[in-house]
Amino acid sequence: MTKLHFVVNEDWAFISHFYERAVAAKSAGYKVGISAHLGDKRSILENAGFTLYPHHISRSGTNPLVEIRNLLAMVKVFRASKPDIIHLIALKPIVIGAIAARIYGKAQVVCAPIGMGYLFSSSDRKARFLQPVIRFMLRRILNLRNTQVIIENDEDCASLISGKFVKVTNIQVIKGAGVDLSSYQATPENFDTQVVTMFARVLRDKGVLDFVAAANIVHRQFPKAAFQLVGDCDPGNPTSFNENDVRSWESAGSIRWLGYRNDVPALLAASNIVCLPSYREGLPKTLIEACAAQRAIVATDVTGCREVVTHGSNGLLVPVRNPEQLATAISQLLGDQVQRTTFAKNGRLRAENEFASPIVIERTLAVYKKVLSV
């Protein structure tokens, strides 16, 4: 039996973005192992029949001694699980996991640098310091002989190729995590409501402050509009806000914070517009879910969002870090039911033709077959 071993930062991230593919791989005859920081999603992974190998890699940690210890622990895990394919997801697992895989020496490697991460979207001092180091390491890791790369959008793919991070023959675009169209029904919106929803972790780089500022502006013209923020704080991410910050926005009357929710299809059905003013994305799952649920979108004109939203077709794109233009776009859609309906229907068609789970699963399994044939 071919053994497939995933390495990812958090169990919830795996559930959100790779669970369906892991289940499909298991059904296709692979024995699946997962290394992750395990929390309250552990039982879901255990019940699916995956073998779990907990790790303690910090997404924000930079202590060399700690990272060397993590590296050696990962080598030990690989020697125990004996994988034929190692699928590394996100920057930190790629850096540590690829070196560990090289030491292990008996597996093909698939790297998925989803979203390119905080390091490549943030301008803070720590990120600027680490960027050249990570770029140096990635250029060598992604070019290793036994390595294939899965990237989520065409822009990042072109950048990695032009920057000589990877050869064109060793990289493939697979558009996001996929969406289960049976779970996200295409339902007409309620024209009696004005609900604008942002689904995202409460991170600065997701544009949360811009969403709050835009809500204040829109309320002058549409005082009954409801702005909802759905998502949890993420203390492991350097750009996360804390609960007190979010509660202060609620107290000011700007937004309503719903926190983490597992009823996303219902929340989408109750929304009129989905908004994501992110500073950078790989391919945002929240937007492909919005497409599947047949909702109009307002997003920033950045890598990743552009892969899902075509301006004037299924949504509106606005400049990044610009709450005023974000508010203008939201107000435009709140005032135009016909345009919202047109955008919503076009989005559903994109979900069916580009983002449906079977498409993503088939293309991912094809990568595994490719690396095994090398």
User: Is the distance from CB of 107 to CB of 5 less than 8 angstroms?
Assistant: yes
Least confident range from 107-116, 143-152, 192-201, 344-353: namely: 107-116
Domain holding 30, by residue range, is 3-178+356-372
- Confirm whether 345 is domain-assigned: yes
> Residue 126: what pLDDT?
66
More confident residue, 373 or 230: 230
315/104 Cα distance (integer angstroms): 47
User: Is the distance from CB of 233 to CB of 243 less than 8 angstroms?
Assistant: yes
pLDDT range class, residue 270, cuts 50, 70, 90: very high
Q: If you average pLDDT over residues 12-21, what whole number do you get?
A: 96
Do 347 and 297 share a structural domain? yes
Highest mean pLDDT among 16-30, 102-116, 237-251: 16-30
pLDDT range class, residue 117, cuts 50, 70, 90: low
Spatial strand order of the sheet with 273-276 comes to 256-259, 226-230, 195-199, 273-276, 296-300, 315-318
Statement: residue 228 has pLDDT above 80: yes
pLDDT range class, residue 172, cuts 50, 70, 90: very high
318/322 Cα distance (integer angstroms): 8
* Tokens linked to 261: 């929710």
Query: What is the percent of the chain with per-residue pLDDT over 90, rounded to a whole number?
Result: 85
Do 231 and 174 share a structural domain? no
Do 36 and 122 share a structural domain? yes
> Residue 237: what pLDDT?
85
Do 125 and 73 share a structural domain? yes
Going along the chain, which residue ranges are E strands? 3-10, 31-37, 51-54, 85-89, 108-112, 147-151, 171-173, 195-199, 226-230, 256-259, 273-276, 296-300, 315-318
**pTM, 2 dp:** 0.92
Do 267 and 236 share a structural domain? yes
Do 45 and 66 share a structural domain? yes
Statement: residue 109 has pLDDT above 60: yes
- Confirm whether 185 is domain-assigned: no
More confident residue, 18 or 64: 18
> Residue 63: what pLDDT?
86
- Confirm whether 187 is domain-assigned: no
Q: If you average pLDDT over residues 189-196, what whole number do you get?
A: 98
Number of domains in the chain: 2
Q: If you average pLDDT over residues 255-283, what whole number do you get?
A: 96
Do 66 and 76 share a structural domain? yes
Statement: residue 136 has pLDDT above 80: yes
- Confirm whether 183 is domain-assigned: no
- Confirm whether 365 is domain-assigned: yes
CATH of the domain at 28: 3.40.50.2000
- Confirm whether 42 is domain-assigned: yes
User: Is the distance from CB of 11 to CB of 36 less than 8 angstroms?
Assistant: yes
Do 277 and 130 share a structural domain? no
Least confident range from 90-94, 209-213, 266-270, 271-275: namely: 90-94
pLDDT range class, residue 120, cuts 50, 70, 90: low
pLDDT range class, residue 137, cuts 50, 70, 90: confident
Do 161 and 281 share a structural domain? no
> Residue 144: what pLDDT?
87
Do 211 and 126 share a structural domain? no
348/291 Cα distance (integer angstroms): 5
Statement: residue 118 has pLDDT above 60: no
pLDDT range class, residue 70, cuts 50, 70, 90: very high
Do 205 and 171 share a structural domain? no
Q: If you average pLDDT over residues 210-237, what whole number do you get?
A: 96
**Measured distance between the N- and C-terminal CA atoms of the chain, rounded to whole angstroms:** 18
Statement: residue 332 has pLDDT above 60: yes
> Residue 122: what pLDDT?
59
Q: If you average pLDDT over residues 260-273, what whole number do you get?
A: 97
Helix (H), strand (E) at residue 126: helix 125-141
> Residue 132: what pLDDT?
83
Four-residue CA torsion sign, 261, 177, 358, 87: negative
Do 213 and 159 share a structural domain? no
Q: If you average pLDDT over residues 322-348, what whole number do you get?
A: 98
> Residue 115: what pLDDT?
57
pLDDT range class, residue 304, cuts 50, 70, 90: very high
Statement: residue 60 has pLDDT above 80: no
Statement: residue 123 has pLDDT above 70: no
- Confirm whether 189 is domain-assigned: no
pLDDT range class, residue 58, cuts 50, 70, 90: confident
pLDDT range class, residue 238, cuts 50, 70, 90: confident
- Confirm whether 107 is domain-assigned: yes
